[in-house]
Amino acid sequence: MLLVILVIFAVAPAAPWIHRAAPRLSGWLLAVVPAGATVYLLAQIPEVAAGNAVTAAYPWAPGMGLTLSFYLDGLSLLFGLLITGIGALVVAYTGAYLKDHPRAGWFQAYILLFMGSMLGVVLSGNLLSLFVFWELTSLTSYLLIGFDHERAAARESAWQALLVTAAGGLALLAGLVLMGVVAGTYDLETLLASEDVFREHGLYVPILLLVLIGAFTKSAQWPFHFWLPNAMEAPTPASAYLHSSTMVKAGIYLLARFNPMLGGTDLWFWLLTGFGAATMALGACMALPQNYLKRLLAYTTISALGALTMLIGMGTELALKTAMVFLLVHALYKGALFLVAGSIDHETGEKDITRLGGLRAHLPITFAAAALAALSMAGIPPFFGFMGKELMYEAVTGDVAEGAILGGLALLTNILMVTVAGLLVLRPFLGARQSTPKELHEAPVAMWLGPALLGGLGLFIGLFPGFTAANLIAPAASALLAAPVEVELVLWHGVNLPLLLSVLTLAGGAAIYWLRDGLGRLTAPLAPLTNLGPERGYELTLAGVLGFSAWQTRTLQNGYLRRYMLITVLTTIILAGGTFVTRFAGLDSIVLSEVRFYEGVLAALILLSAVFAVWTSSRLAAVAAIGVVGYAMAIIFLIYGAPDLAMTQFVIETLTVILFVLVFYHLSRFAVYAGRATQFRDAVVAITIGVLMTVFAFVATQIQFHDSIHEFFAERSLPDAHGRNFVNVILVDFRSLDTLAEIAVLAVAGLGAYSLLRLRPKRKKGS
Judged by CB under 8 A, the chain residues 363 through 382 that form the site for other proteins are none
Question: Taking CB under 8 A as the rule, does residue 598 contact other proteins?
Answer: no
Shortest separation between residue 136's beta carbon and other proteins, angstroms: 7
Contact 375, 389 (CB under 8 A): no
The CA distance from 360 to 428, in Å, is: 8
Using the minimum distance from each CB to other proteins, give the nearer residue, 64 or 193: 64
Question: Taking CB under 8 A as the rule, does residue 183 contact other proteins?
Answer: no
**546 burial via Cβ count (<10 Å: 0-12, 13-18, 19+):** exposed
Member of 526, 532, 595, 677 binding other proteins (CB under 8 A): 595
Question: Taking CB under 8 A as the rule, does residue 2 contact other proteins?
Answer: no
| Rg of the chain, C-alpha, whole Å | 38
The CA distance from 237 to 284, in Å, is: 23
For residues 457 to 476, the per-residue mask of contacts with other proteins, x marking binding by CB under 8 A and - elsewhere, is: --------------------
Using the minimum distance from each CB to other proteins, give the nearer residue, 398 or 577: 577
Using the minimum distance from each CB to other proteins, give the nearer residue, 521 or 583: 583
Using the minimum distance from each CB to other proteins, give the nearer residue, 440 or 685: 685
Shortest separation between residue 342's beta carbon and other proteins, angstroms: 23
Shortest separation between residue 249's beta carbon and other proteins, angstroms: 21
For residues 28 to 67, the per-residue mask of contacts with other proteins, x marking binding by CB under 8 A and - elsewhere, is: -------------------------------xxxxxxxx-
Could you say which residues in the range 649-708 bind other proteins, by CB under 8 A? 649, 652, 655-656, 659-660, 663-664, 666-668, 670-671, 673-674, 682-683, 685-687, 689-708
Shortest separation between residue 648's beta carbon and other proteins, angstroms: 5
The 3-class secondary structure across 410-464, one letter per residue, is HHHHHHHHHHHHHHHHHHHHCCCCCCCCCCCCCCCHHHHHHHHHHHHHHHHHHHC
Member of 30, 327, 369, 623 binding other proteins (CB under 8 A): 623
Cα atoms in the 13 Å half-sphere on the side-chain side of 525: 1
Member of 20, 433, 493, 562 binding other proteins (CB under 8 A): 562
Contact 306, 290 (CB under 8 A): no
Member of 29, 136, 324, 353 binding other proteins (CB under 8 A): 136
Using the minimum distance from each CB to other proteins, give the nearer residue, 463 or 746: 746
Using the minimum distance from each CB to other proteins, give the nearer residue, 383 or 713: 713
**Peptide bond before residue 62 is cis, with ω within 30 degrees of 0:** no
Q: Which residues contact 554 (CB under 8 A, 6 or more apart)?
A: none
Helix (H, G, I), strand (E, B) or coil at 54: strand
Could you say which residues in the range 515-554 bind other proteins, by CB under 8 A? 545-546, 548-550, 552-553
For residues 722 to 751, the per-residue mask of contacts with other proteins, x marking binding by CB under 8 A and - elsewhere, is: --xxxx--xx-xxxxxxxxxx-xxxxxxxx
Task: Render the burial of 593-630: b for 16+ CB within 10 Å, e for the rest.
Answer: eeeeeeeeebeebbeebeeebeeeeebeebbbbbbbbb
Could you say which residues in the range 262-321 bind other proteins, by CB under 8 A? none
Contact 538, 164 (CB under 8 A): yes
Question: Taking CB under 8 A as the rule, does residue 174 contact other proteins?
Answer: yes
Using the minimum distance from each CB to other proteins, give the nearer residue, 65 or 458: 65
- Write out the H or E segment, with its range, that includes residue 70: strand 66-72
Nearest to 319 by CA among 412, 393, 376, 413: 393
Could you say which residues in the range 89-108 bind other proteins, by CB under 8 A? 106
Answer positive or negative: Cα dihedral of 660, 663, 668, 673: negative
